[in-house]
């Protein structure tokens, strides 16, 4: 298994929970970090925990956009049958060893447990960036780009297709390539549903907490956006104590 993430100008403090919780989970697989900019303390922290570091340039793009191209280029070094877990690193907590999760071809966590037609924020963003291309997916849940899991033979080309599709956004501006948008997430949705015929299934690999109601009866391997939940650690510890 390969876990791959990306950071730009984050400190050791910002990624401490991500790095330490993965170590504590017992994970033994490959760990890869794409680095655009970081200080020496962050680099040493990654090296101390045996992360492979690939230094890349943003070339004027947003981190959330450029990372998909760099994920694609690095994942070429791994076999197609490898399972890959792409995650954000600032707001991800590993509650369980992801190596223990059942093998799947592709899992993309949902950004809310309801159809896109009821996701007012996502609809407003699609209207600005891909106004004519989202309507076929109104009955499907909006997907979050923060955690993607599956076979390298699927995840790797999905990254490149997502990257390429970001430049077809109505807001893309060649004179301001780093304009702050959420185009990566929107591109991922359209590409996953249209080209990869992705069908969301019930899973407990990850919960994206910003827009998803946390059913604490479900045991998740990863908690993404945990910083959006008041008293998250207290609630999680209480839940884990109940399970134990």
What's the 3-state SS for the chain? CEEEEEEECCCHHHHHHHHHHHHHHCCCCEEEEEEEECCHHHHHHHHHCCCEEEECCCCCCCHHHHHHHHHHHHHCCCCCCCEEEEECCCCEEECCCHHHCCCCCEEEEEEEEEEHHHCHHHHHHHHHHCCCCCHHHCCCEEEEEEEEEEEHHHHHHHHHHHHHHHCCCCCCCCCCCCCCCCHHHHHHHHHHHHCCCCCCCCCCCEEECCCCCCCCCCCCCEEECHHHCCCHHHHHHHHHHHHC
> What tens digit of pLDDT does each residue of 113-144 get?
999 999 999 999 999 999 999 999 999 999 99
Residue 244, pLDDT > 50, answer no
Average pLDDT over the chain reads 94
Domain range for 186 is: 2-243
Q: What is the CATH number of the domain that holds 173?
A: 3.90.550.10
Domain count, the chain: 1
Q: What is the mean pLDDT of residues 216-230?
A: 94
The per-residue pLDDT for 179 is 73
Predicted local confidence at residue 171, as pLDDT:
81
pLDDT of residue 241: 58
For the residues 146-162, what does the mean pLDDT come to?
Answer: 98
Q: What is the pLDDT of residue 239?
A: 67
pLDDT digits (tens, 9 = 90+) for 23-53: 999 999 999 999 999 999 999 999 999 999 9
pLDDT score of 181 more than 90: no
Provide the pLDDT for residue 47.
97
């Amino acid at each position: 298994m390969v876990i791959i993430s990306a950071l730009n100008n984050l400190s050791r403090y910002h990624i401490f929970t991500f790095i330490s919780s993965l170590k504590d989970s017992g994970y033994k697989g490959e760990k890869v970090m794409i680095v655009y900019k970081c200080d020496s303390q962050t680099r040493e922290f990654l090296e101390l925990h045996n992360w492979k570091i690939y230094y890349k340039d943003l070339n004027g793009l947003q981190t959330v956009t450029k990372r998909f191209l760099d994920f694609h280029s690095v994942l070429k070094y791994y076999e197609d049958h490898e399972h890959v877990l792409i995650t954000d690193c600032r707001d991800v907590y590993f509650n369980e060893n992801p190596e223990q999760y059942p093998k799947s071809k592709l899992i993309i966590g949902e950004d809310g447990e309801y159809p896109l037609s009821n996701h007012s924020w996502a609809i407003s963003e699609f209207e600005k960036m891909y106004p004519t291309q989202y309507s076929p997916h109104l009955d499907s849940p909006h997907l979050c780009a923060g955690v993607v899991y599956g076979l390298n033979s699927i995840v790797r080309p999905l990254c490149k297709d997502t990257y390429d599709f970001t430049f077809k956004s109505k807001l893309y501006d060649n004179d301001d390539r780093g304009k702050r948008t959420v185009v990566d997430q929107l591109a991922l949705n359209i590409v996953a549903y249209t080209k990869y015929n992705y069908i969301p299934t019930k899973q407990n690999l990850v919960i994206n907490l910003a827009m998803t109601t946390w059913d604490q009866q479900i045991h998740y391997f990863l908690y993404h956006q945990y910083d959006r939940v008041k008293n998250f650690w207290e609630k999680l510890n209480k839940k884990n104590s109940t399970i134990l």
